[in-house]
Structure 1
Amino acid sequence: MSTPALRVLVVDDHPVVLDGVALALQRTMFVTVAGYARSASEAIEAARQSHPDVVLLDLRLPDMLAPETIRALLAQDPTIKIIIFTAYPDHAALDAALAAGAHGAVVKDIEQADLVDAIRRVAAGERVVYANTGHDGGDILHRKLREHGLTRREYEILRHVAMGQTNPEIATALGLTRNTVKTYLQRTMQKLGAHNRVEALARANQLGIL
């Protein structure tokens, strides 16, 4: 008798990430995608309805901090396993998320085989961390940004663009003027060799930045 496939809920506010992870997991015999969510509130509701074995949770969501999300998920179902999925391996929130009850952490540019292995091991009760905490200066995202000449602020603005926000909305979220956001965005598009927002997002995703 075969073992039932592990049910994974994928939570990320980037559609490209959702699609990429889903494709990777669908190619694996013992893992099935139980659902998707783009925010913490959606994740909590999706977990309530679909009862996943493992939640692959983005460290940074638009509506709730990761530790709060983790506590809410575990309060709802103490048996659920949670893996932080992040492009920020040295972010202070990572330690807080693990302290809040996350069972593992992986970086977003992890190899498919390692991602599947992490899901399998966490589901089996292990604690798995495939994320460099930055103690040896190995910040993966920072290295990628540096390679392409992007600053953290330019990355932040690009991330808000990926969430579908307008320049005024980004300005409000980051405490900047609209002209400053426009200048940052123009500079970012120039560095990425893009002529518009869509091309910039496509290029950033191609480079593994978003």
Structure 2
Amino acid sequence: MEIDAFVAADDIDPIRIGEGYYLSPDGQVAAKPYKLLREALARSSKVAIAKYAWSGRERLGMLRVRGDAIVLHAMHWPDEIRDPTELLPEPVDVSEEEIKGALALMESMSRDDLEGDDFKDTYTEAMEKIIEAKREEKPLPEMPEPEKPGRVLDLMAALEESVSKAKASRGEDADIHELPKKKTAAKKTTAKKTTGKKQPAKKTTAAKKTTGHARRPRSA
């Protein structure tokens, strides 16, 4: 492995970073250089860019510190990264209220760690239960039906529902007040005709008109 440069970690686009592998020194002779590199990387807050051989070809890698160890991350070469321009949707307009709603959703889903049941490998656990059931010749465990996503017609309504679910799952008050509300258009009722029963020759028309009051948007 040959180190070519040291750069700030923030200067590397995460899309170029691949799987990570722990590096270990090759014998006691390499123990001191290994520790020296680890200490230098830790104090400089930088990462090392290196080239190494893997599966018969030259690879690009990034070295960083994790605890007392050095981790090697495989990196993609620049020409291996696809240009996303052709994958982007057609231009659309997003309102300020919708952006604030998205920020409210992010805030309700923020956390300090990635521990807990939400980040467990449920697929592996389910496979283990199936294997165990087959080994003991027991009925296979029933798998819950996944929720079928409906067609989202109102983005603000979808954001409100997502915030409500996020708060409810964390035991917080699920009542939503902070999301901005979209102005509702004034409602107008259709004019109704009333006809007297005893005087068929005469018709009286009563036009009724009701106007809804638009609610002002509330800031998040």
TM-score under structure 2 normalisation?
0.18
Bigger Cα Rg: 2
More strand by share: 2
More helix by share: 1
